[in-house]
Amino acid sequence: MSQPLTSEGPRPVPVRSVRTRRIAFAYPPAALDRHYVRGDLVMSHVVSVLSAMFPEGEDFFVRSVRHYADRVTDSELKKQVAGFIGQEVTHGREHGALNERLQEMGYPTRRVDRMVKAGLKRNERLFPHKVQLAITAALEHYTAALAETLLTDPRAQELLGENEVRSMLLWHALEESEHKAVAFDVYQHVVGDEKLRIRTMRFMTVAFIFAVVGHSVLSLLGDRASYDLRRLGRSLAALRHSPFLTREVARRINDYNRVGFHPDDHDATELLERWREELFGEEGRLADHVK
C-alpha cells in the first residue's frame, strides 16, 4: 500500500520546460586526444566509464517511468513525462555514438555497456516496479547533482577543455537539470513511500560508487599509461581537488535522504535560463548542432 508524501498528498507539479531537442554530435578520429579530459589519466577513464553506463541506464529509466505513465493524472506531469522520455532516449543515442569513438581510442566502453545491461536486467527480475522507479529517482538525483556542478563550477568546465565531449556533456547536463524532478514526481504521485525512497537511495549510493570505481579500475588496468606510477600518482592526487568530489556535492546528494525532500529544493531556474541562452540562443554555441 503506497503512502502519500503528506496528509494532503504529493505537491502540485509546477510548470517546467522539459523539451526534446533533435541534436547530434560528431567525433572525427583526430578530434580527441587519448586522455581527452585535459590529459588527466584517471578522469579520462572515469568520464568514459560514466558515458558507457548511460545508454543502458537511460533505457532503464525510461522503462521504469513509462510503466507508470498511464497512472499519472496530473496534466502538467504527463507533459513532463513525455519530455523526459524524449530527452533520455536522445541522451542514450548520443552517448552510444561517443562510446563507439571511445572504444576505438582504447576505452572498454562496450564491455561496460554489456555489464550494465546485465545488471539492470537482473534488477528488473528481482525488484518490483515501484523499486525500479525508486532506483530511477535516486540515480536521477545523482546525475542532477553532478550536472548542476558542471553548470555552476568553472573548474568543472575547465576540466573538459574545448572539444566535442565538453559540448555534449554541457547539453546533457542542461537537460538532466531540466527533468531532474520528473521521475521523482511520478514516484511521489503513484507510490509515495518515503521510507522505500530513502532506503533505495542508500542502497544505490553503495551500488553506484562500487560500479563506477570498479569499472574505472578495470579500464585503467587496460591502459599502458597507468603503469607510469608517477603519472598515475599525480592523477589520483588531483582527485582530492576535483569539483565533483567536494563536501558541498556530497551534502547535495545526501539531502535526498531527508524526509520531505524534493529536487526543486535546489532551485536551478536562473541557471537553466542562462545555459539555455548560452547553448541554444540565437548565437548559442550549440545552435548549429540542432537538427
Secondary structure of residue 188 in the 3-state scheme: helix
**166 within a domain of the structure (yes/no):** yes
How many domains would you assign to the chain? Answer: 1
CA distance 165 to 46: 13
Assigned domain for 76 exists: yes
Angle of CA points 113, 176, 102, to nearest 5° = 35
Share of the chain above pLDDT 90, in %: 91
Q: What is the pLDDT of residue 231?
A: 97
Q: Is residue 277 part of a domain?
A: no
1: pLDDT strictly greater than 60: no
* CA 164 to chain CA mean position, Å: 18
Q: Which domain holds residue 250?
A: 41-259
CA-based nearest residue to 64, from 78, 85, 83? 85
Average of per-residue pLDDT values in the chain:
94
Q: For residue 224, is it within any domain? A: yes
The set of cell numbers assigned to 286 is: 550549440
In whole angstroms, give the CA distance from residue 199 to residue 205: 10
Distance of CA 77 to the CA centre of its chain: 20
- For the stretch 57-114, pLDDT in tens is 999 999 999 999 999 999 999 999 999 999 999 999 999 999 999 999 999 999 999 9
* 258: three-class secondary structure by DSSP: coil
Q: What's the whole-model pTM score?
A: 0.93
Is residue 266 in some structural domain?
no
Nearest Cα to 36, choosing from 169, 185, 208, 197?
169
Please report, to the nearest 10 degrees, the dihedral formed by the alpha carbons of residues 6, 78, 68, 73 taken in order: 60
Report the pLDDT value the prediction gives residue 31, as an integer from 0 to 100: 81
123, part of any domain: yes
pLDDT at 236 over 90: yes
Residue 177 included in any domain = yes
* Within a domain: 136: yes
CB 220 within 8 A of CB 42: yes
Q: For position 2, what pLDDT does the model report?
A: 39
